[in-house]
Structure 1
Amino acid sequence: MVLRKIFPAMYTLSEEAPACSRNGTLYLMRCIFVMGVRKPPARFFVAYCLWSIVMNLSSTFYQPIAFLTGYISHLSELSAGELLTSLQVAFNAWTCSAKVLIVWALIKHFDDANDILDEMDRRLTQPSERLRVHQAVSKSNRIFFIFMTVYMSYATNTCLTAIVMGKPLYQNYYPYLDWRSSSWQLGLQTGLEYFAMAGACLQDVCADCYPVNFVLVLRAHMSIFADRLRQLGSDPEESPEQRYEQLIQCIQDHKTILRFVDCLRPVISGTIFVQFLVVGLVLGLTLINIVLFANLGSAIAALFFMTAVLLETTPFCILCNYLTDDCYNLADALFESNWIDGEQRYKKTLMYFLQKLQQPIKFMAMNAFPISVGTNIVVTKFSFSVFTLVKQMNIAEKLAKVEGEADFN
């Protein structure tokens, strides 16, 4: 009951309640606001601007630099496990910053997409249709909180591991701060790293979960649209003119769906492309760390991290495959409608519309490769190639030997 009061959009409304598809991205848009990439509200203009500067300076801009500078400054002092723990996160932090900048530049597309969802909602007249949208909205918000839980669990687990080990796991570079010199500087370093990583995780949730949130609601509307197509021409009391108008309205509905997809396509294309570039390498480094170097605390943190990395692409790639099937289902639904007894004008328009419906909705990663389960498997398999290469070259044994000699000396 407490959760229902705090997060009502996580729960399915009754079919009597009006449909509000934009609620499927309710908590997503609130977290994007917390990211500091929205237009500052007039009432809290200064406070929001200051928060945006602090959040993005620490997580978006400085954190990638801090990782790189830390390697240059303290590379010889890092153990193999510490280096891999830091390196796997560093690659993901660099891609996270790139995705945040893409979302920041194209944030208006989210508002436009929600406006188009409002148009779709106005076409819902049956209680069963509204119920389907309510179910999609609640599922979308629950998935968002699953993402948030996994990502924040990783950030918190690494912070706790750092406290137990008595040294910061990432060992980022902060000017005039030497965590080895005193306990309070160690605490400050750990706190700064946790704040930056928690902010990056929040940003990553928004940058990775928005395609899932939007497409889940879209699939609900496409399912309703398929039923609407299947019912075309089923009313014997309709005149030929009314039947034709119903078909034209369905064509307009399809155009609305395509406008919604085109609105999101530039953002999805950029963020997924950036993630595809490094997902195999990041997973490979994480596997090496877990199998060869990590202690119990680091291994648990690495498992949370691996789960988070897999969540960045896999759910949306699965949805893209389902979306293709939904498009073919639309064509089947139109063909199953009562069109044989229609007039010639109705049949010609329907055949043209059928050809359009047979063209599946596809998302591309920067026009380089399709976003699908097949592509996700290909880029993920690269992680095993990285792991195999390290094993064959005995890099782990060499690093352990060098580390042992350093400890002996």
Structure 2
Amino acid sequence: MHKIFRLINPAPLTARVRSRECCTYLYRLLKFVGWIPPKQNLQRYLYVFWSALVLTFGELYVPMGLALSLVKNFTNFTPGDFLGVLQAFVNANGATLKSIVVIFLYSRLSQMESVLDIMDERLRSDSDRRRIHKAVADSNYIFLVYAIVYCCFITSVFVSGVLNGQPPWFLYNPIFDWRSGAINFWMHSIVEQIFVTLSVLTVLIWDTYPLIFVFMMRAHIKLLREHIRNLRTDPLKTEAENYDELTRCIRDHKLILQCCDIMRPVLSGIIFVHFQLVGVLLGVIMINVLYFSDLMHGISSLIYLTAILLESFPCCYLSDLLAEDSNDLLNLLAQSNWINAERKYKSTLIIFMHHVQQPIVFIAGGLFTISMNSNIKMAKFAFSVMTIVQQMNLGDRLK
């Protein structure tokens, strides 16, 4: 167990840890769901077959099966069951759309890692390395927390469904009719649980990747801020050495901007898809919990609500902090010890200050800033849905 979870603890300075290792657990799961094929010939062919199975049943069949279930079983559903299948259907389509976005932009992930390697090579001291080691460990810890929440959700839905004597997801299955006996019921439940688990694992990957990326960018921005604070503070350094330190800070800032530019389309697409779904999902979940859920369904719905909030809230919050950190660079440069510097140093500093005036901001779909303000606006739609239900008294009518 220690070997499995060792990455959630900061590595000692004697170990060589790179920033790209912030996604170690994430990439292991990505490999499991069929996104990182091996280079060997036979293994590669077998892996491609496995990838096709995951794509077919996890990414395509799950949303289609839920849609068919909504159509074919509409008259047999209770309101609570219908809303449960509806929320799963909406989220499954969101998962497929996120995967489509990443498929077209997948090469950018390796490009970003190459830039991170260059940034790691420029670390100047043991203090810098210690901070990166901690950021890498915290990133892997964040992924494990998300994995636990998501696994608790799918497990709670399975247990809740089985205890109530019905399939946990009501996924359409033309082979096993769960009403025809205990064997068919268990086969139906287990098969659909496997398919939905594959879909949820893919959702887990693309929900955590933007968060981990922004988290690591903040770690490197914090290092840059510390370097700027130390400009021209060492009386033993010559003016040429001070100028070299300033140019190193400029280069570090360019690498951070380059890394963000590479990943900007990926974050834009993933968060845009989530923004379009979050209001509807939260509204459906709240209606289901307040009006139609029993105890077990209520518990699983609340876990699902937590997972939905985790999809965007932390990422939006860290994006706001990243924008503030990058915006604060201008103040740090202005407050640095530049008054007695040479003219070349001052002119370079002015140019640097001009370039850091623009904070690092990500735009979802070219329309919405990835920020807490945008996240709250999207979540408010859930309360609009609740208001409509209350005013029309739909909860009592559907019971």
Alignment TM class, shorter chain as reference: over 0.9
Report the counterpart of residue 348 of structure 1 in structure 2: 347
Q: Is the 8 A contact 2:65 2:171 kept in 1?
A: yes
Counterpart CA distance in 1 for 2:314 and 2:160 is 29
**Which aligned segments of 4 or more residues in structure 1 are displaced greater than 4 angstroms?**
none
1:188 paired to 2:210: no
1:209-248 to structure 2, matched below 5 A, reads 209-248=208-247
Report the counterpart of residue 7 of structure 1 in structure 2: 5
**Residue identity in the other structure for 1:27:** Y
Counterpart CA distance in 1 for 2:114 and 2:210 is 16
Q: TM-score, normalised by structure 2?
A: 0.96
Report the counterpart of residue 365 of structure 1 in structure 2: 364
Q: Is the 8 A contact 1:37 1:104 kept in 2?
A: no
Q: How far off is 1:368 after superposition? A: 0.4
Q: Is the 8 A contact 2:19 2:116 kept in 1?
A: yes
1:105 paired to 2:104: yes
Aligned to 2:340, the other structure's residue is in SS state coil
Counterpart CA distance in 1 for 2:62 and 2:223 is 45
Tell me which of 10, 19, 23 is aligned to 1:25: 23
Q: Provide, for residues 235-261 of structure 1, a one-character-per-residue CA deviation record: whole Å limited to 9, x for no partner.
A: 334333333232222211111000110
Report the counterpart of residue 304 of structure 1 in structure 2: 303
Q: How far off is 1:40 after superposition? A: 4.2
Identity %: 35
Counterpart CA distance in 2 for 1:220 and 1:19 is 14
Q: Provide, for residues 157-183 of structure 1, a one-character-per-residue CA deviation record: whole Å limited to 9, x for no partner.
A: 111112111111322212233211122
Counterpart CA distance in 2 for 1:109 and 1:247 is 29
Q: Provide, for residues 293-314 of structure 1, a one-character-per-residue CA deviation record: whole Å limited to 9, x for no partner.
A: 0011110110111011001100
Counterpart CA distance in 1 for 2:111 and 2:6 is 24
Aligned to 1:75, the other structure's residue is in SS state coil
- Structure 2: 5+ residue stretches without partners: none
Report the counterpart of residue 384 of structure 2 in structure 1: 385
Q: Is the 8 A contact 2:66 2:171 kept in 1?
A: yes
**Residue identity in the other structure for 2:6:** P
1:225-374 to structure 2, matched below 5 A, reads 225-374=224-373
Q: How far off is 1:99 after superposition? A: 0.5
1:139-178 to structure 2, matched below 5 A, reads 139-178=138-177
Q: Is the 8 A contact 1:96 1:204 kept in 2?
A: yes
Q: How far off is 1:51 after superposition? A: 1.4
Aligned to 1:180, the other structure's residue is in SS state helix
Report the counterpart of residue 407 of structure 1 in structure 2: none
1:45 paired to 2:44: yes
Q: Is the 8 A contact 2:108 2:263 kept in 1?
A: yes
Q: Is the 8 A contact 1:137 1:217 kept in 2?
A: yes
Q: Is the 8 A contact 1:17 1:130 kept in 2?
A: no
Q: TM-score, normalised by structure 1?
A: 0.94
Report the counterpart of residue 78 of structure 1 in structure 2: 77
**Residue identity in the other structure for 2:115:** I
Aligned to 2:167, the other structure's residue is in SS state coil
Q: Is the 8 A contact 1:18 1:130 kept in 2?
A: no
Aligned to 1:76, the other structure's residue is in SS state coil
Counterpart CA distance in 2 for 1:25 and 1:192 is 30
Report the counterpart of residue 403 of structure 1 in structure 2: none
Q: How far off is 1:266 after superposition? A: 0.7
**Residue identity in the other structure for 1:127:** D
User: Does 282-291 or 248-257 show the bigger shift?
Assistant: 248-257
**Residue identity in the other structure for 2:21:** N
User: Does 104-113 or 114-123 show the bigger shift?
Assistant: 104-113
Q: Aligned pairs, how many?
A: 398
User: Does 239-248 or 304-313 show the bigger shift?
Assistant: 239-248
User: Does 266-275 or 213-222 show the bigger shift?
Assistant: 213-222
Q: Is the 8 A contact 1:287 1:387 kept in 2?
A: yes
Q: Is the 8 A contact 2:162 2:168 kept in 1?
A: no
Aligned to 2:87, the other structure's residue is in SS state helix
Aligned to 1:82, the other structure's residue is in SS state helix
Q: How far off is 1:342 after superposition? A: 1.5
Report the counterpart of residue 206 of structure 2 in structure 1: 207
Counterpart CA distance in 2 for 1:176 and 1:22 is 44
Counterpart CA distance in 2 for 1:377 and 1:302 is 20
Aligned to 1:354, the other structure's residue is in SS state helix
Q: Is the 8 A contact 1:226 1:334 kept in 2?
A: no
Counterpart CA distance in 2 for 1:204 and 1:109 is 19
**Residue identity in the other structure for 2:189:** T
